[in-house]
Amino acid sequence: MNKIELSLIKFFDIESEVREHINTHRYQKVLISVLDNWSQICSSLDTLGDTGLALKSYFISDFPTEAGLTYIYTYGLLQALFIQQDAMNHLSEAFEVSYELSDELKSIRAVRNASIGHPTKNRVKKTTYFNHISRISMSKGGFTLARFYDEGESEFIDVDFKKIVETQLTGINNAYALISDKLREIDEQNRAKFMEKPLTDILHSTMGYMFEKVGQAIYSPSNSNVSFGLSMLESIEEAYNNFQSALLERNELPDHNQYELDEYFHGIKRLKAYLTSSNVNDFSEADAQIFLFYLQKSHKSFQNIAREIDEYYVGK
């Protein structure tokens, strides 16, 4: 496996790490709150991936024999390198990571500008160059760039695609790694913040006793049973208010879970109304039993959610 192939493997691995981070709800919710910055991240990340695919395909494909296509391939490769640099600059900017083109990457930009960006009148500092690619020199490995300037002066530059792509990928991967490192640091800080506050402590195992006492208030509605059952239901409601707050604090409450919690609180509200005998003319004992069954069953689902989230904070 050659250096370009190894660099591309690293390139796509880092891309996957960044995508995994931004597509995780706890971070995506924060990022998407600034919509233009989120759009810049998505555009830059997609463009980086696209240019990576372009470089990969260039080196595994046969170089065309038809003259026109040789230009398309050559122009395309150089433009992909140029766009890739811009995309990395803008991705770094969006994540507030310092990024500066190295002299090596600047030289690749200069080759692109001289060859296909502004070849016919290429102003560099105080000198104007008039450039063209030597057609007979064109191959998959590169070409020779002819440059004329200062009333008859000339120079010929050999452009080695393998060399400049190796240089480019080294620089781009270094910048990509800085972004990945920052996101990993954010992840570790977030995990450390909540590691000692497991959600399962909120939805604790003794809540089964609370549900049992609510059931007794429904099945055997003596004054003492109803009073105690109502207090247990209020304790369940308090636990779920704390659970919701803890999820929000962690940015771990996607819309579908919020919807399920809203339904859960509605179920608690209806049972409280039944046990206090207020506005429940359309609510029978059988209805109360069904609602209690729903609360108990859903409680198990929320406990599973709590365990899954805790595994992220504690399990790594």
Mean pLDDT for all residues in the chain = 94
With cut-offs at 50, 70 and 90, classify the pLDDT of residue 148.
Answer: very high
Q: In what order do the strands lie in the sheet with 127-133?
A: 122-124, 127-133, 142-149, 153-160
Residue 264: is its pLDDT beyond 60? yes
Distance CA 58, CA 43 (A): 22
pLDDT, position 292: 96
CA angle in degrees (0–180, nearest 5) for 112-113-116: 70
Q: What's the mean pLDDT in 22-32?
A: 91
Would the pLDDT of 315 be above 90?
no
Q: Say how far apart CA 86 and CA 135 lie, in whole Å.
A: 28
pLDDT interval class at 2 (50, 70, 90): very high
Q: Is 125 helix (H, G, I), strand (E, B) or coil?
A: coil
pLDDT of residue 228: 96
| CA 9 to chain centroid | 19
What confidence tens digit (pLDDT) does each residue in 194-209 have?
999 999 999 998 999 9
Provide the pLDDT confidence category of residue 152 given band limits of 50, 70 and 90. confident
In this prediction, residues 154-167 reach a mean pLDDT of 97
CB 100 within 8 A of CB 111: no
User: What's the one-letter identity of residue 80?
Assistant: A
Exposed, middle or buried: residue 304 (CB in 10 Å: 0-12, 13-18, 19+)?
exposed
In degrees, rounded to 5, the angle at the alpha carbon of residue 274 between the alpha carbons of residues 238 and 305 is 35
Residues 115-136 have a mean pLDDT of 94
Residue 224 tokens read as: 């003492």
What is the mean pLDDT of the segment spanning 277-290?
81
Q: What is the CA radius of gyration of the chain?
A: 32
Q: What is the pLDDT of residue 310?
A: 94
Go through the chain and tell me how many residues it has. Answer: 316
* Letter string b/e over residues 85-122, b meaning 16 or more CB atoms within 10 A of that residue's CB: bebbebbbebbebebeeeeebeebbebbbbbbbebeeb
This prediction's pTM: 0.84
Please report the pLDDT score of residue 280 as a whole number: 61
Beta-sheet strands, E only, within 122-223: 122-124, 127-133, 142-149, 153-160
Q: Is residue 316's pLDDT more than 70?
A: no
Res 127 pLDDT > 80: yes
With H, G, I as helix, E, B as strand and everything else as coil, classify residue 23. coil
Quick: pLDDT tens for 227-247. Answer: 999 999 999 999 999 999 999
Q: Is residue 278 predicted with pLDDT exceeding 70?
A: no
How many whole angstroms separate alpha carbon 175 and alpha carbon 58? 23
CA dihedral 101, 104, 105, 107 (to 10 degrees): 120
Residue 163: is it exposed, middle or buried by C-beta count within 10 angstroms (0-12/13-18/19+)? middle
Classify burial at 315, counting beta carbons within 10 Å of its beta carbon; exposed 0-12, middle 13-18, buried 19 or more.
exposed
* Higher pLDDT pick, 223 / 161: 161
Q: Could you report the per-residue pLDDT of 64-102, keeping only the tens digit for each?
A: 999 999 999 999 999 999 999 999 999 999 999 999 999
According to DSSP, residue 64 is labeled: P
d(CA 210, CA 269): 16
